Amino acid sequence: MHNLFLFFRRYFNFIVLLFLQGFSIYLLVHYNSYHNALASNFMNEITGKVNTQFNKVDYFFRLRNTNEALVENNERLTNLLNENFEKQDSSSKIVMEDILNDTTGRKRKWQYFSAKVVSNSVSAQNNFIALHRGAAQQIKKDDGVVDINNGVVGIITDVSENYAVVMSLLHKDSKISAKLKRSGEVGQVIWDGKDPNRLSLIDIRKSAQVAKGDTVFTSGFTTTFPYGLMIGTIDEILKDKGTNNYIIYLKSTTNFYNIQYVYAIENLQREEVDQLLKNANNKVNN
């Protein structure tokens, strides 16, 4: 209290001056229409700027909910794409009752599920990504995973009730069947454990037409990924002196440093194909 009294005593004249100036401005604005209009415009401008900044801050804190809503909406729209369905051969099947069929008689083959990334590594030799979506939310082992731009991310290797682990393309054991867009040659995409944004395409013969900038995408020859998903673009082409193949380096489509949301892709016809291949192998071995 004593300090407060000393403060007013020391700055009494200055405080009175501020009060009188403020009162004078009030009288000037209140009883003069011109100055009243100027003051109103000034206050409106200040209020508008304050509201704009407040909206920016509010928008920033709402970005998370906005992003989640966009990912969910993209999941719904992606599942309506034509390439996720296959037209059935109705000539050999008269009755076909399946809730996965659409109104044109096509049967769904691929189902997309959005998931949030909760853990990601890029600096190890064996990199994994953890997703906050698991068996309770329809995620299955061996599902393929892509980013929000349909760039290949990896394959799910383990699933719990509410979480899943993805073996990233940046893993020494990762192998993805891939195809060159220009020539149609098929090879495998692997990682050499060095640059997180640089992959290797192997098993491409020197007789193939290969050019820098050419697109590399999934071949569709496995039950994990549909045909045509982007893996990367050719960044460097070298000739392997010890073999008849090229050494091809790719710039990955996926930015592994900045993955926040992904889509897990389930092949709804995988079990049927896998069972046929298993039966064929059993016959050969027997």
pLDDT confidence of residue 196: 87
Domain over 82-86+100-279 is classified CATH 3.40.50.720: no
- The type of residue at 2 is H
How far does CA 146 lie from the centroid of its chain? 7
* pLDDT per residue as tens, the chain (286 positions): 666 667 667 777 777 777 777 777 766 666 666 656 565 555 545 655 655 565 565 555 556 665 665 666 676 666 666 555 555 433 333 333 344 555 556 677 888 998 999 999 998 889 999 999 999 989 999 999 999 888 999 999 999 999 999 999 999 999 999 999 988 999 999 999 988 889 999 999 999 989 999 999 999 999 899 999 999 999 999 988 888 999 899 999 999 998 889 999 998 888 888 888 888 887 877 6
pLDDT attached to residue 5 = 66
Task: Identify the pLDDT of residue 50.
Answer: 57
Q: What is the pTM for the complete model shown? A: 0.66
CA–CA gap between residue 236 and residue 169 (Å, rounded)? 19
DSSP 136: G
Residues 1 and 218: their CA atoms lie apart, in Å, by: 77
**What was the pLDDT predicted at 80?**
61
DSSP-assigned beta bridge partners for residue 106: 87
Exposed / middle / buried, residue 116 (Cβ in 10 Å: 0-12, 13-18, 19+): middle
**Domain ranges within the chain, ordered by starting residue:** 82-86+100-279
- DSSP code for 151: B
Q: What's the pLDDT score for residue 88? A: 44
> Is-contact 170 232, C-beta < 8 A?
no
